[in-house]
Structure 1
Amino acid sequence: MKIKKILNNNAVVVSDHGQEKIAIGGGIAYHKKRNDIIKPKDVEKLFVLKENEKLQQLLLRIPEQHFILSEEIIDYAEKELDTKLNEHIFLALTDHLSFAIEREAQGIHLKNKLLQEIKILYKDEFAIGMWAIKHIKTTINVEMPVDEAAFIALHIHTMKIQGGDMKQTVRQTAILRHMVDTITQFLHITINEDDLSYERLITHLRFALTRMNQYNTHSMDDEMLTVIKKKFSHSYQCAIHVQQELLSLHGIELPDEELGYITLHIERLQKNN
């Protein structure tokens, strides 16, 4: 592989069998110049992306330390999750992270409205996000808020194999947030978001939405559903209200048996409050 352009000490554009690629490796460009040869053993990652030009521009514009931090977070995530992340995470996370670090250094703090839902739905990814913000603090002494751990978690989740699309993930999480808000407003309660019943509700609602996308629902016999409607009538009316909101705002219609299960979770939540 022959160097075509040096992006920073750890990244170069190379020509490999006539194809342009970005080669990543610790100190890969140290004491190197254009047309020098890169040995395969020095390459840790090799990218052939549609976004090659964007990645080149990004690596030329951001501080090299931000690039290194992103690479370290990706490596840590892959080890913790025991999986390879989609190669597009390198561009997406590096771009996001550098901008986030600049914002925080300037005292501009962005809130993540989906923080509590992300903590529950994507526990492993959120734990990696928490490690990442501690690592940033230790490395460059920029203190990132816990909200940023949630943003990082979303990036990691959507870049897992079959992790999904970022827009779809954010949309589903926002729908869950709205469903919970609808429930609390209907019941006139405040939820302790660290409570186990809240975690169970969020988890169930998430899988309810997933099942709807897959045309697969819980099975509950009519007799049991009738009992639930009568015994927990207020919670059932709350579930009906949630269903009406979902249909009106998002075009999602929950079947009766799903409403039965949601009613049980709402009843538990109400009792705990």
Structure 2
Amino acid sequence: MKVLKVLNNNVVIAEHEEFEEVILTGKGIGFGKKTGDSVGEEKAEKFFILHGKEEQEQYKQLLNEVSEDFIACMNEAMSFVKEQYKFELNEHIHIGLTDHLFFAVRRLQQGMEIKNPFLHETELAYPKEYAAAEEIIEYMNRCVGVSLPKGEIGFVTLHLHSAVSNRSLSDVNKHTQLVSNLTEVIEKSLNIELDPKDMNHQRLFRHLHQAIQRIQNNTYNEEEPHSLKKVLMEEYPVCYNLSWKLIKIMQHSLQTTIPDSEAVYLTLHMQRLSRTK
């Protein structure tokens, strides 16, 4: 491979015959190199691809602000979770998550701490990404010599899910916020306090996340069990009416029509919850 640009002693952009431009990382890989020099793939400890000039420019700017040691810790952590969890990650995570954790460490060192109100919801929604995020935080704490708060596991989880699903982080955050809003409405309307450890609560959470995802992906099964709908309207009017209140909230947030069948599924979940209070 040919060196296109040396970003620092441990990171270079190189020309790869199959992947075109790639980011190579490795101890001392950029030392003494200049544009046009050859660099063997065996010299690189890790490499990844950033498609497009905008992403490459963002990564270059990040390297001007973040220490080489921190970049090395992040690359090791990301390589570990890719191998351990078999994740196919959008390579933009090398920018977004590095930037997030670097400033999380800086805030911690300045005595600032940002609370994460959606930690339990995030763990229930994305359990595999959450487990990987726990390992990333544990590794970064050891590598950088800090003690990041538990709430950061939730933020890292959302970055991982964004990279796994190829959805924007803002879209994933909006999705998480919507589910949190829906559960608050359920708690107030049914006068209950949902317990993240309760199986019925977990089922409701997973249903809400999966329903929103199917709606956004246009993969929702619109078949409505009419006979069941009539029974639920008559037997459980409070839960049935509440289900339509939730549907209107989802429609407003997602700016799309929600299939009527969703009222049936939500009513069943909420009736199960109200029965156990």
Q: Using the TM superposition, name which of 73-82 and 47-56 deviates more.
A: 47-56
Q: Structure 2 CA distance, aligned partners of 1:111 and 1:216?
A: 34
SS in 2 for 1:83: coil
Superposition pairs of residues 261-272 of structure 1, within 5 angstroms: 261-272=265-276
CA RMSD of aligned residues (A): 2.4
In the superposition, relative to structure 1, how do residues 42 and 53 fare at CA in structure 2: closer, same or farther (>3 Å)? Answer: same
Deviations 1:133-176 (A, max 9, x none): 1112222221111211111111111112x432222211111111
Q: Does 1:184 align with 2:214?
A: no
Q: Which residue of 1 aligns with 2:211?
A: 208
Shift of 1:26: 3.6
Q: Structure 2 CA distance, aligned partners of 1:128 and 1:150?
A: 11
Contact 1:77 1:156 in 2 (8 A): no
Unmatched tracts of structure 1, length 5 or more: none
Q: Structure 2 CA distance, aligned partners of 1:131 and 1:76?
A: 9
Shift of 1:239: 1.3
Aligned residues: 270
Q: Which residue of 2 aligns with 1:172?
A: 175
Q: Structure 2 counterpart of 1:238, which letter?
A: L
Q: Which residue of 1 aligns with 2:60?
A: 56
Contact 2:121 2:176 in 1 (8 A): yes
Q: Structure 2 CA distance, aligned partners of 1:249 and 1:159?
A: 23
Q: Structure 1 counterpart of 2:214, which letter?
A: R
Deviations 1:178-214 (A, max 9, x none): 1111111111211112211111001111222223231
Q: Structure 2 counterpart of 1:154, which letter?
A: L
Q: Structure 2 CA distance, aligned partners of 1:62 and 1:252?
A: 41
Contact 2:9 2:30 in 1 (8 A): yes
Contact 1:6 1:29 in 2 (8 A): yes
Contact 1:10 1:29 in 2 (8 A): yes
Contact 1:201 1:265 in 2 (8 A): yes
Contact 2:81 2:136 in 1 (8 A): no
Q: Structure 2 counterpart of 1:39, which letter?
A: G
The TM-score, its normalising length taken from structure 1, stands at 0.88
Superposition pairs of residues 155-166 of structure 1, within 5 angstroms: 155-160=159-164, 162-166=165-169
Shift of 1:270: 1.7
In the superposition, relative to structure 1, how do residues 255 and 14 fare at CA in structure 2: closer, same or farther (>3 Å)? Answer: closer
Q: Which residue of 1 aligns with 2:42?
A: 41
SS in 1 for 2:195: coil
Q: Structure 2 counterpart of 1:164, which letter?
A: R
Q: Structure 2 counterpart of 1:147, which letter?
A: G
Q: Using the TM superposition, name which of 42-51 and 222-231 deviates more.
A: 42-51
Q: Which residue of 2 aligns with 1:258?
A: 262
* Structure 1 counterpart of 2:201, from 175, 190, 198: 198
SS in 1 for 2:12: strand
Q: Structure 1 CA distance, aligned partners of 2:82 and 2:106?
A: 25
Contact 1:8 1:60 in 2 (8 A): no
Q: Does 1:85 align with 2:89?
A: yes
Q: Using the TM superposition, name which of 55-64 and 259-268 deviates more.
A: 55-64
